[in-house]
C-alpha cells in the first residue's frame, strides 16, 4: 500500500492566501466531492496512529462513520483516491455471494460496504459471510455508513481494527473547500449556526463556473439562510390549553440544547412522546412549535404517506428514507401523524395480517433508539391510543403519552387573540371564548378567518360581532319548543354531572355544531377509578338528557340515540366494557376478559349474546331510573340550568356548579 496520503483525483491548488491545501492535480469541479475530500482528510489527520496503520501493507477491517447518509457514497469514492490511490477497489461487499474462498479481481486489494439504510439489506445480519471471505482472500474491507452499528454487517463491527469518524462541515473545512474550488480564501463568512444545514445539494446549487470565492460563499449563505427560515417559527409559548405537553416540550428544548453542546449524553434525553386527544386540538401545531422552540428541523411522515410509495418493500423503503432524513438533520423532531393507523399486532385478524405485522415490525425497527436514532425525537399523534400496538409506547421509543384536551375558556381567549393578530385589539374576548367552549384551536383559526372574510366582503373592518356570529355558526330556524327541549336535555346531563362530580363539568351548550344541537363537555381528570360506582354514575350522566326530557315532557325524543357517538351508544359501550373488559361482572361469565368492544363490533356482539344484551339492558334501566329520580328531586335546578342555556346558549361549568350548589343550600 502507499505510504502517503496524496490523491490522484485532483492536484495542486494554488491559493493566494497561503492555505495549506492537499496536493491535487487540477482544480476540482464538484464542490461536494471537494468537501468529501476535505472532511475525510481532517478525519485522518485527527488520528495519526490510525493513519499510520492504514499505510501498512496488511489486510484490515475499517469502519468509516460519515456525518449523514448523503455522504456515504462520496466518502467511499474519495477514500480510494485519498487513502489507497495505488490500489484498485474490488467488488461491492453486498454483491459477494460466496461464503468463503472469494477470489478478488486482479489487482484489487479492498472491498467496500456502502450502506445508508435506504435498502432492506442494510442491516447487521446481512453480509457477514462476505466480510470473512474478503479478509480470507487477503483483502481489506471498509464499511461506510452514517450509523455503522445499525446498517453494517455485524461481523465487520466486531472485527474492525480502525474506526474513522468523519466530522461535520465547519467554518475551517468550508474555507478549505472554497479554496480548493477557487484558489482563494472567501471573505464572506457563513455563521456557525448554518453549518449544520450544509448538504451536498446546497454545495452544488451554489456552484458556478466563474470560480469566484466570495460569490460562491455568498450564494451558499443565501441558500442556507432560506433553509433556516423554513424551520418552524412557531414556539411553545404560543401554545395554549395544553399545559402538560408544553411543560414536556420546554424541558426537552433545554435538554436538546445541552445535548448539542455536548454537555448531555443522548441516553438522558427523552426519545419521544405520544400526543392524543380530540381532533383539532393542536397536536400537529404543537410539533411545529416544539421544533421552533428547540431550533431544530421538523420532518413529517405518516403511514398513509409511506404506503403511497407502493408495495411492502417500497413502503418500508419510504419509511426508512423519512427516518434517515431525520437522522441526517439531527438533532431534529420527527412528527408522525395518525400513528394509531399502524394498529395492534394482537388484533390483526384480517387477510392482510402478515403485511400489517411486517409494517409494524418495520416501524418498531426504525423507532428503536438502540444505536440508530441519536438526536431524533419522535412525536406521534392520534385521537385515541387504544388501538395502538403497546410495543410502540415502550420506553425508549415513545416514552410517554400526553393528553391534549379541548382548551378551556381562558385558553380559547388566548388562542383567539393569537389568530386575530392586530385585529380587534380593544375588544374583550371573554364572551367569544365562553361561546366557543367545546371548540378547538383549529375551530378558532377557522372562526377568525371566516370573520375576516365576511368583513372584507362587506368592505369594512372586522368587528367583535363578526367573530361572535362565526362562532355561533349557521343556525337553522328552531322553534321555541325545540330550543326548550334541547335546553332541558343538555341541562339533564349537566345537572347529574354537577351533583355527582362537582368540578368535572366544563361547559353545557345548546349551540348548533354540525349535526349536533348541543352537548356537555367534562374534564376527564375528575373521573375517578373505574369502579362499579363510578361506572354507574357515568351511565346516569349519559342517560340524564333523556331522563330530563321524560320528567319534563312526559315523553322522549330520539336525541339520545343515533350514531356511535350518541348518548345511548356510549352508555351501551361503557356497560359492555364493564362486563367484558373491566372484570366487573358478577353474572354467569364471572371474572373473564373478552376484549374491549368497538363501535363496529358492538351490535354484532349483543346480537350473538342475547344473555349479555339482557344484562346490559338491566344496567341501563337501573341507571336511567336513578337519573330520573335525581332530576325529579332537583327539578328546580334543572329548570334554572335550562333557562341559562336558553338565554346564553353556552354556559361554563363553574357557573352551573355554583348555581346548583346555591340552590342546594
Residue 423: the pLDDT is 92
CA–CA distance, 415 with 433 (Å, rounded to integer): 9
Instruction: Calculate the average pLDDT of the chain.
Output: 84
What is the structure's pLDDT at 192? 82
pLDDT tens digits for range 341-352: 898 887 777 677
pLDDT at 514: 54
Is 543 in the same domain as 641?
Answer: yes
The CATH number of the domain holding residue 534 is: 1.20.58.760
pLDDT for residue 230 = 57
Q: Is residue 156 domain-resident?
A: yes
Q: What grid cell was written down for 597?
A: 368492544
Domain count, the chain: 4
The reply to whether 197 falls in a domain is: no
Is the domain of 522 the same as that of 417? no
pLDDT at 8 exceeding the cut of 60 = no
Contact 13, 183 (CB under 8 A): yes
**Contact in structure between 382 and 302 (CB atoms under 8 Å):** no
Residue 245 in grid coordinates:
405537553
487 and 441 fall within a common domain? no
Would you say residue 20 has pLDDT above 80? no
Please say if the pLDDT value at position 530 is more than 80.
no
In this structure, are strands 272-276 and 88-92 parallel, antiparallel, or unpaired? unpaired
Domain interval for residue 298: 236-392
pTM value is 0.62
CB atoms within 10 A of CB 388: 22
For residue 278, what is the DSSP state?
S
| Residues in CB range of 457: below 8 A, 6 or more apart | none
In this prediction, residue 611 carries a pLDDT of: 78
Q: What is the pLDDT of residues 111-158, one digit of tens each?
A: 999 998 777 788 888 889 889 888 888 889 999 998 888 789 999 999
Does residue 503 share a domain with residue 354?
A: no
Cα 84 to Cα 88, 92, 460, 559, distances in angstroms: 8, 16, 75, 80
481-529 per-position pLDDT tens digit: 889 999 999 999 999 999 998 888 888 888 776 556 678 878 766 566 6
465 and 499, same structural domain? no
Average pLDDT over residues 94-103: 70
CA distances from 473 to 409, 414, 419, 508 (A): 18, 20, 18, 17
Q: Give per-residue pLDDT as tens, 440-468.
A: 888 899 999 999 999 999 999 999 999 98
| Residue 528 pLDDT | 61
The tens digit of pLDDT for each residue in 284-323 reads 999 999 998 998 888 999 999 999 988 888 899 899 889 8
Q: Average pLDDT, stretch 538-554? A: 94
Q: How confident is the model at residue 326 (pLDDT cuts 50, 70, 90)?
A: confident
> Rounded distance, CA 405 to CA 524, Å?
9
Question: Residue 632: its pLDDT value, please?
Answer: 95
Active site residues: 490
* pLDDT recorded at residue 477: 67
Tell me: do 361 and 490 sit in the same domain.
Answer: no
Whether the per-residue pLDDT at 9 is higher than 70: the answer is no
pLDDT at 21 over 50: no
Q: Is residue 289 part of a domain?
A: yes
3-state SS, residue 12: coil
* 282: CATH: 3.40.50.300
Amino acid at each position: 500500500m502507499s505510504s502517503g496520503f496524496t490523491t490522484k483525483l485532483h492536484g495542486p491548488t494554488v491559493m493566494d492566501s497561503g492555505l495549506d491545501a492537499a496536493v491535487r492535480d487540477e482544480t476540482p469541479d464538484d464542490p461536494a466531492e471537494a468537501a468529501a475530500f476535505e472532511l475525510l482528510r481532517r478525519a485522518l489527520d485527527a488520528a495519526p496512529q490510525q493513519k499510520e496503520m492504514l499505510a501498512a501493507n496488511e489486510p484490515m477491517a475499517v469502519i468509516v462513520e460519515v456525518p449523514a447518509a448523503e455522504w456515504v457514497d462520496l466518502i467511499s469514492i474519495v477514500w480510494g483516491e485519498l487513502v489507497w490511490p495505488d490500489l484498485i477497489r474490488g467488488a461491492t461487499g453486498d454483491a459477494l455471494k460466496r461464503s468463503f474462498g472469494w477470489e478478488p479481481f486482479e489487482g484489487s486489494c479492498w472491498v467496500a460496504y456502502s450502506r445508508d439504510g435506504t435498502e432492506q439489506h442494510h442491516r447487521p445480519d446481512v453480509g457477514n459471510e462476505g466480510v470473512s471471505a474478503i479478509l480470507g482472500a487477503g483483502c481489506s474491507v471498509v464499511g461506510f455508513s452514517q450509523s455503522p452499528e445499525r446498517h453494517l454487517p455485524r461481523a465487520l463491527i466486531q472485527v474492525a481494527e480502525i474506526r474513522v469518524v468523519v466530522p461535520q462541515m465547519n467554518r475551517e473545512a468550508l474555507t478549505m473547500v472554497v479554496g480548493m474550488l477557487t484558489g482563494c480564501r472567501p471573505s464572506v463568512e457563513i455563521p456557525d449556526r448554518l453549518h449544520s444545514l450544509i448538504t451536498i445539494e446546497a454545495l452544488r446549487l451554489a456552484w458556478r463556473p466563474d470560480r469566484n470565492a466570495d460569490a460562491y460563499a455568498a450564494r451558499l449563505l443565501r441558500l442556507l439562510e432560506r433553509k433556516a427560515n423554513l424551520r418552524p417559527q412557531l414556539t411553545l409559548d404560543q401554545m395554549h390549553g395544553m399545559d402538560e405537553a408544553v411543560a414536556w416540550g420546554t424541558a426537552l428544548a433545554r435538554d436538546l440544547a445541552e445535548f448539542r453542546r455536548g454537555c448531555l449524553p443522548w441516553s438522558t434525553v427523552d426519545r419521544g412522546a405520544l400526543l392524543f386527544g380530540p381532533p383539532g386540538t393542536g397536536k400537529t401545531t404543537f410539533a411545529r412549535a416544539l421544533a421552533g422552540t428547540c431550533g431544530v428541523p421538523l420532518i413529517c411522515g405518516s403511514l398513509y404517506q409511506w404506503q403511497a410509495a407502493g408495495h411492502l418493500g417500497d413502503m418500508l423503503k419510504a419509511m426508512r428514507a423519512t427516518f434517515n432524513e431525520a437522522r441526517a438533520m439531527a438533532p431534529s423532531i420527527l412528527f408522525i401523524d395518525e400513528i394509531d393507523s399502524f394498529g395492534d399486532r394482537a388484533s390483526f385478524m384480517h387477510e392482510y395480517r402478515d403485511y400489517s405485522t411486517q409494517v409494524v415490525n418495520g416501524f418498531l425497527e426504525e423507532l428503536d433508539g438502540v444505536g440508530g436514532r441519536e438526536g431524533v425525537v419522535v412525536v406521534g399523534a392520534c385521537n385515541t391510543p387504544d388501538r395502538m400496538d403497546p410495543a410502540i409506547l415502550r420506553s425508549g421509543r415513545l416514552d410517554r403519552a400526553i393528553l391534549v384536551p379541548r382548551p378551556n375558556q381562558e385558553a380559547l381567549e388566548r388562542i383567539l387573540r393569537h389568530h386575530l393578530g392586530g385585529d380587534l385589539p380593544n375588544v374583550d374576548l371573554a364572551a367569544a371564548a365562553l361561546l366557543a367552549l367545546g371548540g378547538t384551536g383549529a375551530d378558532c383559526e377557522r372562526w377568525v378567518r371566516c370573520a375576516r372574510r365576511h368583513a372584507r366582503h362587506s368592505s369594512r373592518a372586522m368587528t367583535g360581532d363578526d367573530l361572535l356570529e362565526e362562532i355561533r355558526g349557521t343556525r337553522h330556524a328552531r322553534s321555541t319548543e325545540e330550543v326548550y327541549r334541547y335546553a332541558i336535555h343538555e341541562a339533564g346531563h349537566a345537572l347529574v354531572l354537577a351533583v355527582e362530580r362537582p368540578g368535572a363539568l366544563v361547559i353545557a351548550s345548546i349551540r348548533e355544531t354540525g349535526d349536533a344541537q348541543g352537548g356537555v363537555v367534562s374534564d376527564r381528570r375528575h373521573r375517578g377509578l373505574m369502579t362499579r360506582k363510578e361506572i354507574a354514575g357515568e351511565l346516569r350522566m349519559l342517560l340524564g338528557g333523556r331522563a330530563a326530557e321524560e320528567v319534563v315532557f312526559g315523553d322522549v325524543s330520539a336525541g339520545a340515540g343515533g350514531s356511535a357517538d350518541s348518548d345511548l351508544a356510549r352508555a351501551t359501550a361503557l356497560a359492555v366494557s364493564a362486563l367484558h373488559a373491566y372484570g366487573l361482572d358478577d353474572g354467569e361469565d364471572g371474572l373473564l376478559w373478552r376484549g374491549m368492544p368497538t363501535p363496529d363490533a358492538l351490535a354484532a356482539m349483543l346480537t350473538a349474546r342475547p344473555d349479555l344484551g339482557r344484562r346490559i339492558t338491566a344496567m341501563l334501566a337501573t341507571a336511567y331510573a336513578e337519573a330520573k329520580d335525581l332530576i325529579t328531586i332537583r327539578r328546580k335546578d334543572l329548570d334554572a340550568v335550562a333557562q341559562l342555556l336558553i338565554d346564553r346558549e353556552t354556559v361554563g361549568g363553574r357557573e352551573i356548579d355554583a348555581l346548583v350548589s346555591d340552590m342546594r343550600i
